[in-house]
A and B are shown apart, each in its own frame.
Chain A
Amino acid sequence: MASGLLLNRGVLTLGIHCQRVCRNVSVSQVREKKRWMKSYTHLMAKKLKLEGPPAPKPRSLQPQWDFHAEVQAFSSRLQENFSLEALKRAFINPCYLQAELERRRALGLDSETTALALKDNIQLSEKGEGFTKSFLSDWCRANFPRLRREGVESVVAHLTSSPVVTYVARNLGIEDLTMSAECPVPDDVLHSTFMAVIGALEESSGAEHAGLFLRDFLSTQLIGKDLFDMWTVVDPMGLLVEELTQRNLPLPEPRLVRAAGASTVLPPLVLCWACTATRSSWLRVRGRRS
């Protein structure tokens, strides 16, 4: 029935309306089509268009939140044995502490009695960042032994850069647990929180576990990446010559390796930088000119 459908639509938008009949009895009823429904929905839609969507609220201010349980779940989700105290300290950012103090001062509370007994995560963050850089450099050097120092530095810089670290942090659920002044959490705050979590892990479980954590979450971000997207080589020919001189090989010369349709307008020609070498070792670099 048409009126039945309209009734249901009203119910879904606003829920059941309770009316008190007398002190002990209240009647919830949805009768008749509401004449105010259409104008109300139109007004709300206009208000949404004017003011834009509502500001995002941090997850800790939304219903169903228990910080201690969340921190424990975070620790067991990553299969790591964090000391909860260090981990909780890692999530507290200095901007949050300042915002809290401002709020308490604005409410007129005495600053001495309401001093926050919380420490922020700056030290943990610095420790974590130092450990991350050193571990990732060692890992790169161990796994890519022929990669030059500048290459290793660029790979490590890419892995510890803000976009990569914040992407990893957002997909590990660190953003919900971070205590910061603004919502959504800005990138640099999230970056320092992630480093503080690494610092807390190093403090709780030691360098080996922290290293395995970094290998499992940061190094895997190299999958599918091209080296020269991360490392912009300024002078590739100079780099090649340097590499060859280090291995005591003569300078490279361009040679034509493949050709097809030489008399056409755009023949595909494959050039090769080849260097004369002894029979035991040779080096070649391919170039292609279409």
Chain B
Amino acid sequence: MEFSEHIKTANVEDVVLRQPLHPPGRGTLCITGHHLLFSDREEGSCRQVLLLLRNIDAIEKSVENLLTCSGLFSNAGLSQRLSGSSGTITIKCKDLRVLQLDIPGMEECLNIARSIETLSCLDSMLELYPFFYRPSNASLRDQWGLSSLERHYSQMKELHDRWRLSTVNRDFSVCPSYPQAVIVPKSTDDDMLEKVAKFRQGGRFPVLCYYHKKNGMVIMRSSQPLTGANRKRCTEDEQLLQAVIDGSDKGYIIDTRSSQQALQARMTGGGLESKSCYSSWKRLQRQMERGKALQESLIKLVEACGEESNNMDRWLSKLENSKWLSHVQTALSTAGLLAECVERDGHSVLVHGSEGTDSTLLISTLAQLIMDPSCRTLEGFLTLLEREWVQAGHPFQQRCAHSAHSHARLQQESPVFLLLLDCVWQLWRQFPLALGFSEALLLRLATEAYASDYGTFLGNNQQERCALGVKENTHCLFQALLRPRERDCYSNPLYENTELAIWPSVHPQSLQLWRGFFLRWTPQTHHLEEVQEEIRNMVIEWGKLALSSPVST
């Protein structure tokens, strides 16, 4: 298809761009199928701003037919101004940046606005930029992705006794949102798995997601059982779970819904594992907010952060009212509970909510970061995200279609992944030496999940990605983040491996607003970035000396 049919005006001269942290600039604005390009024409500067249209969450336009003397460029362009109409487009990005374009000419302004509106939310995934992005330093034949479940399994020798790799889902027919290979107890054959899949929402039967080497306990995840109102049973499901805790006295099920929610789910065909049928499993209900409520929480928080008010009471009450930090607290403490069950109490745990694609992944990921040092390196963390979010079928396309500024009616949007990154940031704050990656990485991921040059977060699951040929036709973000230059920027200079679990504090006093993300475009945050730079330099300086200097005798 042709993007050009959506572009009536491709170039506008004499546009003024206002963006945070920079003085306003005057220059040329171009719009292409995927980008907004602004080149500064001011004397002595040749600044360019390239904005992925997909990054635009919402725009507001206002046009004026009257003479407006901005006063900002009183010496320049007075004649153009006099000639009449102009318009302003305010662009609100998914990375929370807000830009403003003053465009001479009403028609040009409306044309640009219309192009942005259409091109920023193209429906067809094949039209998205990742399929067109061809950087010079990478080839489409480069390795795609960091690992696969097959490789993960073959590396984990200790699994091989009791666990096997099943390819029952090789054509995605058993569970459309699972990858082709999954790890399950050795004693369950593929026939059983197919039956269990029918008993779990979306076919998401219990699979292994983490094996705790210190005591052999595991974390399993799934979706809710489809017991329904008449409390159906599935012997295969019960057998599968029994096989998980073979040799142990019990296991825990962490259900990310309240008891009431779980019971209510029966009315719509869902349900929970009853005590009578799963006698060796102890259920823990921990309600976590999901879906729309989470999206609304994000919208409220971003709104509070964008407000120019000088009133402390108002700010604190809006911060409280958004409930975002409460969600952070709940996520971290549920993950803490999960890790505690495995590491300290020494039992295996099954995690699920209803669909098993959101809060389930959130807490299983956090628990792994808490317990497993190998997840805390830059590579380890990206591999964890690839396994637990991309391959495990977090529906990125649906969840990250819009962010906090959008006026579009909410559908499946929910900032679960952003909540994960916020929780990881909290961990990073509390254990600044224990994680091998930097805040910059978390910020980059927060941006990429919503709008990206890369194919990694395209689609909702592996099946969709296969159908689109993501692997063949796009580049992989995770690979790109590990190239030497990026690696320097995204690794934590203070990192030192520790084998210990890192238990986060979940007291309200210990949790903070993630200023680096939510207030990213304020000068204060810029000061803090300078500090990170300073720290990096100190460590480099020290490292150089330490390496070059022989110990004096």
Q: Do A and B come from one complex?
A: no
